[in-house]
Amino acid sequence: MRSMGTGPGQQRSRPSRVAVMRQSSISKDRTYSGTLMSGFCVRIGAVHFQWMKLSKQGHAMISMDEGKWLVPFKGRGSSAYTQLNFLWQHENVFVMDNHRAAMWCWLQRIKPTSSHSLFHIDQHYDTRTSHMNEWLKKVPSCWDIPIEDYLSLTVAHPAIGEIPLLSWDNYLSIYLELFGRHLNSVNFATHRVGERPKQEIWEHDVWDVPENLDYWLKPELAPWIMNVDLDYFFCDASDDQPPQRFLSPDFISGVFDVIARKRNDGTIGVVTIALTSTKDLTGGWGPAVETARLGLSRLGIDFALP
């Protein structure tokens, strides 16, 4: 095994803030007063301080306003199965609450009929195939469609009528069925929940991920799809308790630090992150958003929902 240089037990510093000073007019009575203003601004007498959040790499953090709300935030409702409450993008990073939109995001940044690779980090395989023949009949002949059309694709269910074609447990199996022959390497780090992919895959144990992720994401197999579900960092608790985040902040930061480096050097072509903010998988919106803020801060994104 090859070490990525920082294991889950090592302490990492939080994003820092820096003061950038510029001269402003001196008040007539030269009284020094401080007022905290939006954007981390403080005016003290003759000196104006502009505070900016910085990423770990020392760059200014990207705010949510600097990205695109491809699906505007609808509120903290259910994220189960097919409900998508938001989809946000900055460059090749896409964040959503439900993984069903991930395939559309990949198709915006990856040419699926050219050689590429996939790394899937998730509690679940997301590769249900129970009605694959019916699903494939409903996929569009051209995937150059807006997100609204993608989400509106439907398929007939024998008991309840038309249902969304793409859900949180079949978007990946459909992608593998359509484009799997173009994948150089298919990697899964999961809790091995759900139907295992029919394709040949590499499976990785959770404890091996921080130390080896950098090594597994080989540049010669690029571009990589990096697909992360935050429920990976959670596990079931006792019967009367919500799921608990069982992996430490250092573990999570270590994983996202590798993703940041590999994204910056071009090895990763697209990053999709799902919050899966359901009470039975992550404990709900609170824990899911907190984990998203931690992970995305390592990518230089100051994640916050309206």
% of the chain exceeding 70 in pLDDT = 81
Residue linked to tokens 């954007």 = 39
Confidence of residue 184 (pLDDT cuts 50, 70, 90): very high
Is the pLDDT higher at 1 or at 18? 1
Number of domains observed in the structure of the chain: 2
Q: Is residue 7 in a domain?
A: no
User: Angle at the Cα of 281 (from 278 to 285), degrees rounded to 5?
Assistant: 40
Q: Is residue 3 in a domain?
A: no
Residue 43: per-residue pLDDT: 36
Q: What is the mean pLDDT of residues 191-206?
A: 97
Tokens of 244: 């608990």
For residues 23 and 107, state if they share a domain: no
For residues 155 and 32, state if they share a domain: no
Q: Is residue 249 in a domain?
A: yes
Q: What is the mean pLDDT of residues 282-294?
A: 97
Q: What is the mean pLDDT of the chain?
A: 84
Is the pLDDT higher at 105 or at 45? 105
Q: What is the mean pLDDT of residues 138-164?
A: 94
Residue 58: per-residue pLDDT: 58
Residue 121: per-residue pLDDT: 98
The Cα–Cα gap between 40 and 301 comes to: 16
Q: What is the pLDDT of residues 110-126, one digit of tens each?
A: 999 999 999 999 999 99
Q: Is residue 36 in a domain?
A: yes
Q: Is residue 4 in a domain?
A: no
Is the pLDDT higher at 136 or at 15? 136
Q: Is 283 left (phi over 0), alpha (psi -120 to 50) or beta?
A: left
Residue 45: per-residue pLDDT: 38
Domain of 127, CATH number, reads 3.40.800
Q: What is the pLDDT of residues 203-239, one digit of tens each?
A: 999 999 999 999 999 999 999 999 999 999 999 887 7
Q: Is residue 5 in a domain?
A: no
For residues 43 and 183, state if they share a domain: no
Q: What is the pLDDT of residues 56-96, one digit of tens each?
A: 555 689 999 999 999 999 999 988 878 999 999 999 999 99
Residue 7: per-residue pLDDT: 34
Q: Is residue 2 in a domain?
A: no
Q: What is the mean pLDDT of residues 284-300?
A: 98
Q: Which long-range contacts (CB under 8 A, 24 or more apart) does 55-61 make?
A: 55/15, 55/297, 55/298, 55/299, 55/300, 56/12, 56/13, 56/15, 56/257, 56/260, 56/297, 56/298, 56/300, 57/260, 57/300, 59/300, 60/300, 61/15, 61/297, 61/300, 61/301, 61/302
Q: Residue 128's domain spans which residues? A: 62-302
pTM of the predicted model as reported, rounded to 2 decimal places: 0.81
Q: What is the mean pLDDT of residues 280-302?
A: 97
Picking from 36, 53, 70, the residue at the C-terminal end of a domain is 53
Would you give the DSSP letter of residue 44?
Answer: E
For residues 98 and 48, state if they share a domain: no
Q: Is residue 10 in a domain?
A: no
Q: What is the mean pLDDT of residues 21-36?
A: 29
Is residue 42's pLDDT more than 70? no
Residue 54: per-residue pLDDT: 56
Confidence of residue 30 (pLDDT cuts 50, 70, 90): very low
Residue 237: per-residue pLDDT: 80
